[in-house]
Structure 1
Amino acid sequence: MSALSAEGGAILVTGGAGQLATSLMRLGGPRIHRVGRPMFDFDRPETLTATFAAVQPAAVVNAAAWTAVDAAEADEAGAARANRDGPAILARLCADAGIPLIHVSTDYVFDGDKGAPYVETDPTSPTGVYGRTKAEGEQAVLAGNPNTVVLRTSWVYSATAKNFVRTMINAGEKNPTLKVVGDQHGAPTASDDLAEAILAILQRIETGGWQDHYAGIFHAAGTGETTWHGLAVAALEAARKHGRTMPEVLAIRTADWPTPARRPADSRLDCTKLEQVFGVRLPPWHASLVRTVDELLAPPPS
């Protein structure tokens, strides 16, 4: 998929140097206008208004969020500002401008107890502050702007920034044995794949105009499923082809790795609706993982 058409106004992307914002900046072409703190800060609502006035975007992608799941347990107010209150203001600004908003959400709005992939109409049931504030943020942006697409995704990783895949590869170089949770199930999502999906949605909206059935919640995650242990093994096997050490990777139970916030045991997302409405389906997670590890470990250009 190519970048957005050169025609049209700026696409405002929040999230600063985060994984998704970086992917959108790299893949989206010159129309992408990426912003982050301190110039754009949900803790300072006046910066949102100032950014809108300066950029005058044709559409907005909100990739900014409080994603430190455990830290959110100790600062619910901060997580709420980042995940609910700030996005609500952003949605109202989009509504006032008459432009679409694509808001990125998470599988953590579910408790993981369903036992089957979640569909968009399943009731949310977050188990922690992060998931709860993200669920509240979904409702806030949908109420604030009728032209809003909410994309729930899961287990995002990339060749840049801090993420599970990079952590596992780095840990594998330093430790002969790794212990990784093997009883949590989900779908890894490459940030480049998610960015491509968002660009395709924006292109569809620009080409045919906004349609009422575009509004609402959609699931957008890598195709297929695994566990954190399965993802770690696959990442390390891909890294071994680049000469990295392959440690022993032991599967442990969630109970053996206690954390302040409870993680969903099975947060698989059914992404059928995204394909039906927008014609978008993310690639199989394993192929995208290998590509990402290749990019991560590629030798620097001479």
Structure 2
Amino acid sequence: MSERRLLVTGANGQVGRELLRRAAGHSIAATGLDRQQLDISDRAAVTAAVEGQGFAAVINAAAYTAVDKAESESERASAVNRDGPAHLAAVCAQEGVPLLHISTDYVFDGSKTGPYTEDDPVSPLGVYGASKEAGERAVRTTCPRHIILRTAWVYGAHGHNFVKTILRLAGERDELNVVADQHGCPTAAADIADALLDITRQVTGPVAQQPPWGTYHYSGTGATTWHGFAEAIIIEAARHGGRKIPVHPVTTADYPTPARRPVNSVLDCSRIQRVFGISPRPWREALREVIHELHNAGLSRTPSRCKDDNKG
């Protein structure tokens, strides 16, 4: 089978880097463009990057993800998360190229008791979620051949994420306080990349007569809280020599932030399993692999104390 050519935006982000690293294993030749090479909020630049290039598909892994900072930078968040996908959708529709777009669990307000399905109404609580929801609408209305993949609590060996923050803080402090009343599903960037590449292969392959375009959920299986996630990180890191410190549960009210977050953003992933045969794996299993990778890179051991206990 000849390799399909794929364009990946946001190539230096958590998922973007994993897409480029894993594409060859899916018989896909990926071209990655990072933020410096392509600002997706620039319509002309997006058009030039895609038009006439002969890509089999485009995966948009570029995003503004600073949830709290977005409250004071709404224009920038909207430019990247709303306008960027709109520009990509327009040129992909023009070229007849499928667009795979990554979205978030934060399009939901958390008021539902059980896991959210793709058909549940969206109602984002903050600027970040609202900008991502606007990007979803732009993709749906502009590019018929689209896949929107909502995911949650993304982490990996690269970039800034909760896992690396907890590991850093475990080296600075003797105990941690972490929110225990927000529920979600940690998801490894590598797993998201594999899911997107698998979908790309299926919707661009010779047997893809009528691909099931639309919105899908993908996250690690098994729900937890930020507190439960932090405890698991500490335990896994301790297997590699990290400091095993206590992690105390606190409430959202005890830890106010600029942006409101949903108390429940657990995702139901049964549709992606049914349609594409993609089964997410337990988040603890994926976490174990990421901690192992960080250990091999020398980043999971946290035996020393930082000079300033109040930072972070």
Which residue of the partner structure matches residue 150 of structure 2?
152
Which residue of the partner structure matches residue 186 of structure 2?
188
**Is 2:73 the counterpart of 1:75?**
yes
**Distance change in 2, residues 1:213/1:50 (3 Å):** closer
What is the CA-CA distance between 1:42 and the residue it aligns to?
2.3
Alignment of 1:2-41 (within 5 A): 7-29=2-24, 31-41=29-39
Which residue of the partner structure matches residue 277 of structure 1?
275
State the identity as a percent. 44
Q: Do 1:39 and 1:47's aligned partners in 2 also have CA atoms closer than 8 Å? A: no
Letter in 2 for 1:254: T
Runs (4+) of structure 1 moved beyond 3 Å?
53-56, 208-213
- Aligned partners of 2:68 and 2:108: how far apart in 1? 16
Normalising by structure 2, we get a TM-score of 0.91
- Aligned partners of 1:162 and 1:32: how far apart in 2? 23
Quick check: 127-136 or 206-215, which moved more? 206-215
Unaligned 5+ runs, structure 1:
none
**Distance change in 2, residues 1:105/1:211 (3 Å):** farther
What is the CA-CA distance between 1:8 and the residue it aligns to?
3.9
Which residue of the partner structure matches residue 233 of structure 1?
231
SS at match of 2:87: helix
Alignment of 1:257-296 (within 5 A): 257-296=255-294
- Aligned partners of 1:200 and 1:9: how far apart in 2? 12
What is the CA-CA distance between 1:124 and the residue it aligns to?
0.2
Which residue of the partner structure matches residue 251 of structure 1?
249
Which residue of the partner structure matches residue 97 of structure 2?
99
Per-residue CA deviations over 1:177-226 (Å, capped at 9, x if unaligned) read 11110110000000001111111111111334545452111001111111
- Aligned partners of 1:8 and 1:61: how far apart in 2? 16
**Distance change in 2, residues 1:114/1:213 (3 Å):** farther
Q: Do 2:57 and 2:204's aligned partners in 1 also have CA atoms closer than 8 Å? A: no
Letter in 1 for 2:128: Y
- Aligned partners of 1:83 and 1:212: how far apart in 2? 28
What is the CA-CA distance between 1:277 and the residue it aligns to?
0.6
Q: State the number of aligned residues.
A: 295
Letter in 1 for 2:154: V
**Distance change in 2, residues 1:194/1:299 (3 Å):** closer
Letter in 2 for 1:219: H
- Aligned partners of 1:281 and 1:91: how far apart in 2? 27
Which residue of the partner structure matches residue 309 of structure 2?
none
- Aligned partners of 2:287 and 2:117: how far apart in 1? 24
What is the CA-CA distance between 1:56 and the residue it aligns to?
3.2
Per-residue CA deviations over 1:253-292 (Å, capped at 9, x if unaligned) read 0011111110110100000000111100111100000111
Unaligned 5+ runs, structure 2:
299-312
What is the CA-CA distance between 1:51 and the residue it aligns to?
1.2
Q: Do 1:10 and 1:55's aligned partners in 2 also have CA atoms closer than 8 Å? A: no
Q: Do 2:183 and 2:225's aligned partners in 1 also have CA atoms closer than 8 Å? A: yes
Which residue of the partner structure matches residue 87 of structure 2?
89
Letter in 2 for 1:267: S
**Distance change in 2, residues 1:182/1:46 (3 Å):** same
Alignment of 1:216-227 (within 5 A): 216-227=214-225
SS at match of 1:151: strand
Alignment of 1:31-70 (within 5 A): 31-53=29-51, 55-70=53-68
Quick check: 36-45 or 186-195, which moved more? 36-45
- Aligned partners of 2:128 and 2:297: how far apart in 1? 37
What is the CA-CA distance between 1:55 and the residue it aligns to?
4.0
What is the CA-CA distance between 1:77 and the residue it aligns to?
1.6
SS at match of 2:123: coil
- Aligned partners of 1:215 and 1:99: how far apart in 2? 12
RMSD: 1.4
